[in-house]
Amino acid sequence: MTAARPSHSAGSLPGARFIDPRVLSRIANLELLARTVVTGFVSGLHRSPHLGLSTDFAQHRPYLPGDDLRRLDWRLWGRTDRLYLKEFEAETNASVTVLLDCSRSMSYASGGLSKLDYGRYLAACLLWFSRGQRDRVGLVTFDTEVLEYVPPSGGHLLHALHAIERATAGRPGALTAPLGAAAGMLSRRGIVVVISDLYEEPDAVASAVRQLRRRGSDVIVMHLLDAAELTFPFDDAASFEDLESGDRVPVVPGQIAPEYRGLVEAHVAALRRLLGRDGVDYALLDTSKPLDHALFTYLASRQRLARVR
């Protein structure tokens, strides 16, 4: 099932300027970037009268030094003389693994930020946010095969961030083999987030992602497309190169633009239908847009998955 699109704008959140990818590209340190984005995002959640973390109570856990005192259950303290915090559905421990596509097509950028750069920022923020929820976090980078694997652990956030920093778009990619290999590595059920431009036919994408579902994991697919890939804003005749195969094709944009946009819409609709049928949350993300939609999609998916588990 696809997470609902939030109705707010990035400008409505305190710290939202740090979620703009054009601003993020000026922050060289990935750890600083992730911490800055997530802090601004969570601050906006808490300050907004209409938005917030899950309010569905899940369990108590013992107080630890540094925990937010506002979340203490004072009634329970009065009965037991011990300090406990309330945890909610979105905050219960889980294993969260991000699968980041590093195939050659992810290097495309019509502006200053490539799909891979956006994916790197998003992966770092999701892992930082998840670790803040006391989740175990891990990472897989891949193209035609798994490139790096950081197994989910409470102490592996920095290892994952360093692996993301090393990620580059090199070879042509595929989904079936690396996602199958990743499914075999993830022995524990958890949440798997796939970040990719899904540069394959919808049936092949769904079949590849299904390997993760068979292992019992909850799967969220974040489909990254450049703004130009969505709108095809070109005017002048030119040769267009397929970044995966290297093939070049002469194109007169005005003649094919309507057909191209129709094909993209059909591709997205098919992905949404096929992945949704398998119980996979799907979100289409424009890499020119702020990251808040992606983070809200992740949070909404987590809350939904926690309720149906």
185-229 pLDDT per residue, tens: 998 889 999 999 999 999 999 999 999 998 889 999 999 999 999
Average pLDDT, the chain: 81
My answer on whether 77 and 219 are in the same domain is: no
Chain segment 77-128, per-residue pLDDT in tens:
777 777 877 665 444 578 999 999 999 999 999 987 899 999 999 999 999 9
Total domains in the chain come to 2
Q: Helix H segments across 133-201?
A: 157-166, 176-185
Give the pLDDT score at 18: 46
Question: Which of helix, strand or coil describes residue 14?
Answer: coil
Q: Please give the model's pTM, rounded to 2 decimal places.
A: 0.77
Structural domain of 251: 10-50+93-308
Query: Do both 212 and 262 map to the same domain?
Result: yes
pLDDT tens-digit series, residues 130-154: 988 889 999 999 999 999 999 999 9
Task: Convert the pLDDT of each residue in 230-251 to its tens digit.
Answer: 988 876 655 565 666 666 656 6
The reply to whether 242 falls in a domain is: yes
pLDDT at 248: 66
Using alpha carbons, select from 180, 82, 109 the residue that is nearest to residue 140. 180
In terms of domains, do 64 and 138 share one? Answer: no
Between the CA of residue 76 and those of 57, 59, 90, 196, 232, what are the distances in Å? 14, 12, 21, 45, 59
* CATH number for 205: 3.40.50.410
270 and 258 in a common domain: yes
CA distances from 104 to 145, 171, 263, 297 (A): 13, 5, 22, 26
